[in-house]
Amino acid sequence: MAFTDRSLPAREAILDAARARFAADGYDRATVRAIAADAGIDPSMVMRYFGSKRQLFARTAEFDLRLPDLTAAPRQEIGHALATHLLDRWEDDNGLQILLRTATTDDDAAERMRSIFAGQLAPQIAALTGDRASAATRAGLVATQALGVALCRYVLRLPPVVAMSRAEVVAWIAPTIQRYLVGKPPDGGRVDTGP
Amino acid sequence: MAFTDRSLPAREAILDAARARFAADGYDRATVRAIAADAGIDPSMVMRYFGSKRQLFARTAEFDLRLPDLTAAPRQEIGHALATHLLDRWEDDNGLQILLRTATTDDDAAERMRSIFAGQLAPQIAALTGDRASAATRAGLVATQALGVALCRYVLRLPPVVAMSRAEVVAWIAPTIQRYLVGKPPDGGRVDTGP
DNA sequence: CGCGTTTGCCAACACTCGTTGGCTAGACTC
DNA sequence: GAGTCTAGCCAACGAGTGTTGGCAAACGCG
């Protein structure tokens, strides 16, 4: 019971509708019936093609930061480069919005979020600083600022954060990202796990 | 049909259970039945005492930043002072966690979040800088970092962010908050709405 | 053409949800 | 101490959910 090319448009319509609904409403409030209606297809087909709502969600919640090689940029500009890249990345891919909207109440989605920053960002920082021990902490700090911007701008839609242009946002947060990436740890803010 | 003191323990048990459930599971997944069971009370009593699930949520989702007078602190330390206060504030009051967990999918909760930063934080910043036009933007920037920390540390539980001590978190993010509060706007990051 | 497979739709199941009304027992008032 | 109001519980409703099975039509292959 493999699927043929004939049903491919239907499967893609379901995926598109699911991505839009999950990004807008989150996992719980996005119903299979609503997704199917948006796709112009019967709800039972969603189950046949994707097995279950959870499996459908898992398919739509795949997200890759697609980080560029940060060591290639000038050392003083990597904060700006990363900030720009991240904003670009989640303005043309709603995968992070899908994840963010449901990760606050669903542990599977939260776990994906954790693995993204631990698995994709932290190694890049380790390569950047040569300090593997501090990379995880620095990646976590970058996550607080990056996810905070995403949350306020695209999910909560705080008016002043929405009103800023992308260039303004980048200009403001780039120094923060820069410091978290390669800046000197502040007094009382040690970055390794030693005594 | 006013309620007497006799039912006060029951009403408070419901509120306590509701706060815990909403903070842990968010609005949708926290069921009235589960809240009532935690409180050791029949679900129908929840409706009688609070009208509806939404009204119960509204009662538990009241949150006040209780900001201190920032103009009282030395100018160079207000970032540290605010960062410390915010961490304290939402470690001993789960109101913000309740809001954060559901604001990603519920617009009522999101609106409350917006009004907190626009109504409680922005005026304080205006008093601090004397610049009413930029205060909203600065409040939004502070929100990105503050909510980002709350999200990563208390909701998503990113391991490196959870592992840091409170002092470490404050030491790292205080300079960021400081700059957003009173720092010079970066090139390309104007803070007013002029041309 | 003829036959097996795939597609799509319909109806329904089993379950959970918020919410409602009615009943009993107890507390308070006069 | 009789009458009135309240607290609490039980059962049920109606709506919405994910999910399943069956059936008719369209397709592809021999």
Name the residue of chain B whose CA is nearest to A141's CA: B161
**Residue in A124, A121, A119, A127 with CA at minimum distance from that of residue A144:** A121
Same domain, B51 and B88: no
Is position B33 within any domain? yes
Q: Which of B143, B165, B144, B162 is nearest to B153 (CA)?
A: B162
Domain membership of residue B35 (yes or no) is yes
Q: Is residue B74 part of a domain?
A: yes
> What pLDDT was estimated at residue B7?
76
Asked if B155 and B79 sit in the same domain, the reply is: yes
Does residue B7 lie within 7 Å of nucleic acid chain C, judged by its CB? no
Q: Which residue has the tokens 């004397």?
A: B130
Q: Are residues B96 and B119 in the same domain?
A: yes
User: What is the average pLDDT across B90-118?
Assistant: 97
B5-35: per-residue pLDDT in tens?
787 888 999 999 999 999 999 999 999 999 9
Are B110 and B77 contained in the same domain? Answer: yes
Domain termination residue (choose one: B18, B36, B60): B60
Residues B54 and B74 in one domain: no
In this structure, what CATH number is given to the domain that contains residue A18? 1.10.10.60
| CATH number of the domain bearing residue B140 | 1.10.357
Q: pLDDT tens, B44-75?
A: 999 999 999 999 999 999 999 999 999 999 99
Distance (Å) from the alpha carbon of A68 to chain B's nearest alpha carbon = 23
Strand C-proximal residues of B, range 14-73, CB below 7 A, are: 30-34, 43-44, 46-47, 52-54
Position A113 in a domain: yes
Closest-approach residue (CA) in chain B for A97 = B104
Using the CA of A28, which nucleotide's C1' is the nearest one? Answer: D17
Residue B114 has pLDDT above 50, yes or no: yes
Same domain, A78 and A120: yes
The residue with greater pLDDT, B119 or B194, is B119
- Whether residues A138 and A55 share a domain: the answer is no
Q: Does the structure show a pLDDT above 90 at A71?
A: yes
Q: Check residues B195 and A38 and name the one with the higher pLDDT.
A: A38
Confidence of residue B1 (pLDDT cuts 50, 70, 90): low
User: Which of A21, A41, A60 is the C-terminal boundary of a domain?
Assistant: A60
CB A57 within 8 A of CB A25: no
Residue A189: pLDDT band (50, 70, 90) is low
Q: In the complex, which nucleotide's C1' lies nearest to the CA atom of residue B50?
A: C19
Q: Are residues B117 and B161 in the same domain?
A: yes
Residues B101 and B169 grouped into a single domain: yes
Minimum distance, in Å, between the CA of residue B2 and any CA atom of chain A: 36
Rounded mean pLDDT, A89-106:
96
What pLDDT sits at residue B76? 95
Residue A42 located in a structural domain: yes
Q: Evaluate if the CB of B123 falls below 7 Å from strand C.
A: no
Identify whether residues A52 and A82 lie together within a single domain: no
A87/A107 same-domain check: yes
Does residue A65 lie in a domain region?
Answer: no
Residues A89 and A134 in one domain: yes
Spatial distance between the Cα atoms of A19 and A7, rounded to a whole number of angstroms: 18
For the segment A30-49, what is each residue's pLDDT rounded down to a tens digit? 999 999 999 999 999 999 99
Distance A181 CA to C5 C1' (A): 57
Q: Is the pLDDT of residue B123 over 70?
A: yes
User: Quick check: B48 and B139 in contact, CB under 8 A?
Assistant: no
DSSP per-residue letters across A48-83: HHHSSHHHHHHHHT--------GGGS-GGGHHHHHH
pLDDT, tens digit, for every residue of A127-142? 999 999 899 999 999 9
Based on the structure, what is the number of domains in chain B?
2
Predicted local distance difference test score (pLDDT) of residue B2? 72
What is the CA B148 to chain-centroid distance, rounded?
Answer: 12
Residues of the domain holding B120: 70-182
A1 found inside a domain: no
Position B3 confidence tier, pLDDT thresholds 50, 70, 90: confident
Q: Report if residue B190 sits inside a domain.
A: no
